[in-house]
Amino acid sequence: MPQQMPPLAVTMGEPAGVGGEIVLEAWRRLRASGPAFFVIDDPQRLADLAARVGVDVPVHPIRSPAEAVAAFATAMPVLPIGQRIASKPGQLDPAHAAAVVRAIETAVECALSGAASGVVTNPIQKSTLYDAGFKYPGHTEFLAALAGGGRHPVMMLACPALRVVPVTVHQSLKSAVAALTTAAIIEQSVISAEALKRDFGIPHPRLAIAGLNPHAGEGGAMGDEEPSIIQPAVDALRALGLSVIGPLPPDTMFTPRARPTYDVAICMYHDQALIPLKALDIDGGVNVTLGLNIVRTSPDHGTALDIAGTGTAHPGSLIAALHMAAEMAGRRSLRG
């Protein structure tokens, strides 16, 4: 029989958001089939939340991740965060910021030690963390500091119909264009190709490189970034032996006929990547961090403070993130 994989570690996320609700519902839907996971949170908070939204989820505090798999079929395993989180849905409280950060740190420690097969992070509220002194732009950069392999972390968004990587991420459009470089396109494309081989089982990844301007610049008539920045990256990637097409006009590269011709779209800025993916599959999109020494995925949505506590948040993206993390961890374990 195949060896039982360690459970996945799920972080608390912003306690005023929908993270608690979607993890309760994810357990209800996955308890019989898996993948098994444990949540790093306040067990009483989750028990109270289950009662509030009217879902039958027994909460089982555990002392270590090793207890999670045996408990998973009958109760949701929770590794206590070490403090009472008296949160109110939709109401942010900076007093909880330290616990939110500690949950991420604990999950990474579990993954690095092998006690967890990967990390699935619930959405955080960056503004609250910033107010409490958090020094990182977001999850991706913090995880790179905790579990990076000395490389730039790469954010991939994935669903069954599309995978996208934005070369520039959480910046204004003006600053993203100014920050775009040939070296950045090359680095993130190489890391993406390596991850597609290792974590997604694609032996010969095909990369599609997006243009920046309308019609991919129309031969320089609508901007010079394509010939001066993007095309040199395409040439260099081909010289490395990678299968690369582009720069492609962004308005046609995501059409139904175009998507099957590549395995990942390397996009120039945040919305160029996320708009098509979310339009295709808002409930099944997964945020994956590439270039780490651990597996990390996350739902592709935010804290949804406006519907927190109502029981209406859809768990689909979290469930997809759990499945993807388990699949990635399984491939890594086979490779040793």
pLDDT at 297 over 90: yes
In a domain, 298, yes or no: no
Strands 59-61 and 264-267 turn out to be unpaired
**Cβ-proximal residues to 272 (8 Å cutoff; 6+ apart), any chain:** 166, 210, 250
pLDDT, residue 218, reads 87
The single residue listed with the structure tokens 């001066």 is: 228
Q: Please, which pLDDT band fits residue 1 given cuts at 50, 70 and 90?
A: very low
Same domain, 185 and 204: yes
Q: What percent of the chain stands above pLDDT 70?
A: 99
pLDDT tens for 4-34 read: 899 999 999 999 999 999 999 999 999 999 9
Residue 175 burial (10 A CB sphere; 0-12, 13-18, 19+): exposed
Domain for residue 228, yes or no? yes
Residues 134 and 198 both lie in one domain: no
221-263 confidence digits (pLDDT tens): 889 999 999 999 999 999 999 999 999 999 999 999 999 999 9
Please report the pLDDT score of residue 148 as a whole number: 78
Do the domain assignments include residue 336?
Answer: no
3-state secondary structure of 121: coil
pLDDT at 61: 98
As a whole number of Å, the CA-based R_g of the chain is 20
Number of domains in the chain: 2
Looking at the fold, whether 317 and 282 belong to one and the same domain comes out as no
pLDDT beyond 50 at 2: no
Cβ atoms of residues 285 and 157 within 8 Å: yes
- Co-location of 172 and 56 in the same domain: no
Q: Are 163 and 187 in a shared domain?
A: yes
Tell me, yes or no, whether 286 and 165 share the same domain: yes
Is 213 inside a domain boundary?
yes
Do residues 281 and 204 both lie within one domain? yes
User: 169 and 43 share a domain?
Assistant: no
Answer yes or no: are the C-beta atoms of 239 and 131 closer than 8 Å. no
Q: Quick one: pLDDT at residue 151?
A: 78
The least confident of 31-40, 215-224, 268-277 is 215-224
Greatest CA separation found in the chain? 63
Contacts of 61 (CB under 8 A, 6+ apart): 43, 77, 78, 79, 80
Whole-angstrom Cα distance, residue 327 to residue 325?
5
Nearest residue to 38 via CA among 74, 4, 64, 15: 64
Mean pLDDT rounded to a whole number for the chain: 94
Tokens found for residue 67: 């207890």
pLDDT tens string 27-80: 999 999 999 999 999 999 999 999 999 999 999 999 999 999 999 999 999 999
| 208 and 316 both lie in a single domain | no
Q: Which domain holds residue 67?
A: 1-149+305-330
Within-domain flag for 283:
yes
| Residue 79: per-residue pLDDT | 98
> What is the arithmetic mean of pLDDT over 117-124?
97
pTM for the model stands at: 0.93
Angle between helices 182-200 and 231-239 (to 10 degrees): 50
Is 13 part of a structural domain of the chain? Answer: yes
- 113, with CB counted inside 10 A (0-12, 13-18, 19+), is exposed
59 with 114, same domain? yes
- Whether 300 is in a domain gets the answer no
Q: Which CATH number fits the domain that encloses residue 2? A: 3.40.718.10
DSSP code per residue over 64-75: SGGGHHHHTTTS
- Using CA atoms, how far residue 37 sits from 132, 220, 311, in Å, is 29, 51, 21
Both tokens assigned to 276:
């098509």
Whether residues 94 and 186 fall in one domain: no
The pLDDT tens digits for 162-184 are 999 999 988 899 999 999 999 99
Is 96 within a domain? yes
134 and 255 belong to one structural domain = no
